[in-house]
Chains A and B, each alone.
Chain A
Amino acid sequence: MNADREVPNLFAPFQKRIKVAAFLISGAILILLLRLWGLQILEGERLLLLSINNRLRIRPVEAPRGLILDRNGKLMVENRASFDLYATPEDIPDIKETARRLAEILKVSPEELTQRLSQGQALPAQPALLRKGIDEQTVMAIEEQKIDLPGVGLRVRPVRAYPTGGAAATLLGYVTEVSHAQLESREFRDFRPGETMGQAGIERRYDAFIRGIDGGEQIEVDARGKVIRLVQRVEPRSGFNLYLTLDSRLQRIAEESFRSRSGALVAINPSSGEILAMVSKPSYDPNQFSQRMTPEQWRMLASDPKHPMQNRGLQGQYAPGSIFKLVTALAALEKGAIGPDTKFSCNGSFSLGSHLFHDWKKGGHGTLNLRQGIANSCNIYFYNTALKTGIEEIARVAGELGLGAPPGIGLGDEAKGVIPSAEARTRGPGGWYPGNTVMAGIGQGMITATPMQVLMMVSAIANGGTIYRPWVVRRVETLDRELIEEYGPEIVRKVNIDPDNLAIVREGMQAVVSEGTGGRARIPGLAVAGKSGTAQVVRNSGPLRGDHRDHAWFVAFAPADDPQIAVVVLAEHAGFGGSVAAPIAKSVLEAWFKLPKEPRTAQAVEPEPAEGD
């Protein structure tokens, strides 16, 4: 530092810059003072008035949610205007008279209305919500009598509308206001009370895209709470539109072919994982959430023993029954336990130790090879096969094909089903016996799967061994059709199964339709491959007698050599898969190839003439 003293003007340039800084800071402080002068002296009185009544209010302007369209651009979910009825009690000179007139229109008792309007007076003059979502007739009646209804007003709000009602309802989801419980959780801390959000399915999963950005108004109100000036308004920004992989025409046909049965149907493009249709029955009408819903209505819906709000395709876990024979067959081929020409004879029963296992057909099927075994869904054939293969390989192949793990569509809770993993086998009650293996070989016992899992499994068999993640949203676009997000096929994995073995099983599946249990899914001119299944329902305490009837499965794809669509049908408590579920699958397959395709989505070429039919 001695050097500093020897050269006294070393700091001169710094001192100059410090002086500049001093000027800048003084200037900034001066600007602050001018601003304060402006606010406190020039505008002080006006702002004081504003503060006395605190007259500045904010009013949210709800953004319309994005539309949901099918793969061809057909509307599946839209918005409609809903009218809410408000009353400002302070503006009503004669509450009794107004209540009487209004009660007539709303068809409620005038006493109740009088009481509600009087209660409203205790609050500072704010319009009180009298009724949400009033119908068109009521709107007209109120508009007509407007002069006689001072202080009563209507406000328009966009609400969700599902033109197809209960179709694909559990997939599409529904919209409600955020609940109190949700508001308290971290996830929803950015939400304000009364804000709406998607509560299930696609509406929930893609809520951030669909919801849009609410606008708002800053309004100045007078002492009575009436708006005197709009200070600022920011327009709401409509949410993004979703384009689904679903084909609403196919969806409608699928829904109709299900008639009044309970169960699930999923149709998919097996070479991409695009979901084409998804039915879950019984369903509910999501439109009722857009209207005034009473707590009783909600309780009825939520506690319905038939679970209409459950998406059975993703959440329903059922014994796969004979469908699982495809897995057993593949496992046996993989292990080399059998070949395509291995024969077993079936006389209707099979004894293992002291147990006697039966075939579903009395008297048996006679001697069968693998193709015939699959075609006729012969239990005896697969008891033998399973026993020769062993549970380890069966469990491995089941896992390879996606059973025992959630399919990953990402919509709410996806069940993952149960496969007899090594862990499950050792933990199971009383250990694992050959008898368990025999039962597992035909898809009973400790095996469950969701219809979606079964469909993915069959898709992998159909496409030569690729597991695609199922997906349902193709594109996200703005109102002006600007692309936000685009989704495409996603390969989860290539299964570790010999493609030749998959081909053998495919051949067996074709035989199911052409000569076996799936004859009801036969379509002239189209090579359909399929497999039926009948899942025994084991229940200790079924509340209804009908509940003990078996579940009917049918899974199919077509054309067999170039699969463009795969479909799974599960009809709850409906009986035999081949007789109940197969016709439903057939009508969907048939419809798909008849539907005219948009050029950009056209994959359907002329179906090949069916082989061996």
Chain B
Amino acid sequence: MLIDRRVLSAFSWRLAASAALLASLSAVVIYSTTGQYSSLLRRSLYFKQTMWGLIGVGAMILLCSLHYRTIARLAYQLYAAILACLLLVALIGRSGFGAQRWLSIGPFAFQPSEFMKLALIILLARYFEDHKEDLEAPWIFVLPIILTLLPVALVLRQPDLGTAIVLLATSISILVLMGLKIRYFIYLAVAASAVAPVLWSFLRDYQKNRFLVFFDPSLDPMGAGYHVAQSKIAVGSGGLVGKGWMAASQSQLNFLPASHTDFVFAGFAEQWGFIGSLALLLLYAYLISKGLRLARDARDMFTMVTSFGVVSMMALQVVINIGMVTGIMPVVGIPLPLLSYGGSSMVMNMLAVGLLLNIQMHRYMY
């Protein structure tokens, strides 16, 4: 491979190892919660997740062999390709669980919206690298906003509120970093709240109700509200040290919906308790702080925005997901990075860590 010795010496083994550790934890948790009471299909999930983890680690290492400048050069094409995939999903996508999110390539079904998270970060990084001289001009933010809203609209249509929120929030965090005044958002919020009651009055009662349940699932005790109630029991029953591996009755007995995807943390916390949850959060905190340090020490706009974007995306997902599982945030369907089941999400998050590694390696090379 075309990796220079100096570069290799700067490879952050600790960062790579923490990502790999999270991926292995994922397989372990999924194995233990899709246990003996489930169908054969469910029981094989941990194996598939292991495969995805390995593929992800491979992709992560492969990404390091490229210079990030190559990635920066391809930013627009990458974005365009994934946007095209999203369009394709809207047209011919495979639907599952009531939403049209997947695109089938042979036996695989991948979720372009996951990769859009990364493509959008890279695109914004490239854009601000190109326009770093003009950041004072407000019009400079117009194109990034449009390029954000495009995929957000497509993803919302699927409908996938969770991913849309992550895309939007990640982009906003980057724009704010770039100096977009927070007061603009306040203006926007004021304008929106002025228009909202008018729009609201146009909605029919049952439409309003659907809307409300979307944001407050406890209005629907049969559906999401029940899920949260069960997941709170799962998390809480873990206590200080947890029930131990394979002893997570709450998660195993199928009381927990989506115990291997969005609610995977519940199974984790049930088995390893507060101590385990603390350790897991510290692991994420380590990943995040590593990325923040890279952003702080960056010497060019592209790497700064990329590392900040990756961090912001990961932090958002961790906070919203765990907040949702513990019942302090609405259920919006956001996976826990590197822990939730799902090939697209796993590979995307590994690539995100790969970007951090890449930036770290090439820091001293100009």
Contacts and interface: CB of A to CB of B under 8 A. Distances in A.
B295 interface: yes
A213 interface: yes
B315 A25 contact: yes
Interface string B287-318: 01100100110111000100010011001001
Interface stretch (B104-112, B142-150, B226-234): B226-234
B315 A11 contact: no
Contacts of B220: 216, 234
A342 interface: no
Interface string B319-360: 100110010100000000000000000000000000000000
Given A11-B304, A218-B229, A28 B296 contact: no
Given A21-B312, A32-B326, A44-B240, A39 B289 contact: no
A51 B233 contact: yes
Contact of B322 (A22, A32, A37, A237): A32
A4 B366 CA distance: 12
Given A56-B233, A234-B221, A35 B285 contact: no
Contacts of B176: 17
Interface residues of A, number: 54
Contacts, number: 150
B269 A47 contact: no
A22 B179 CA distance: 17
A232 B238 contact: no
Contacts of B204: 484
Interface string A15-36: 1011101100110110111011
Nearest to B129: A1
B250 A54 contact: yes
B322 A39 contact: no
B190 interface: no
Contacts of B237: 44, 47-48, 50-52
Interface of A: 1, 4-5, 11, 13-15, 17-19, 21-22, 25-26, 28-29, 31-33, 35-37, 39-41, 43-48, 50-52, 54, 56, 58, 60, 189, 192, 213-218, 231-234, 237, 478, 482, 484
Contacts of B76: none
B93 interface: no
Nearest to B235: A39
Given A41-B239, A218-B225, 16 more contacts: A4-B299, A11-B298, A14-B304, A21-B292, A29-B284, A32-B322, A32-B323, A36-B274, A40-B239, A47-B233, A48-B239, A50-B237, A51-B236, A54-B255, A58-B221, A213-B209
B273 interface: yes
Contact of A232 (B178, B218, B249, B318): B218
Nearest to A55: B233
The 5 residue pairs across chains A and B that have the minimum distance between CB atoms: A47-B236, A51-B237, A44-B239, A39-B236, A48-B237
Given A21-B292, A218-B221, A484-B205, A28 B238 contact: no
A597 B342 CA distance: 65
B8 interface: no
Nearest to B236: A47
Nearest to A27: B319
A234 to B, nearest CB: 5
Nearest to A19: B296
Nearest to A17: B177
Interface string B170-207: 00010011110000000000000000000000001110
A32 B235 CA distance: 12
A189 B177 contact: no
Given A18-B292, A58-B226, A60-B222, A40 B273 contact: yes
A230 to B, nearest CB: 11
Contact of B240 (A18, A40, A60, A214): A40
A29 B319 contact: yes
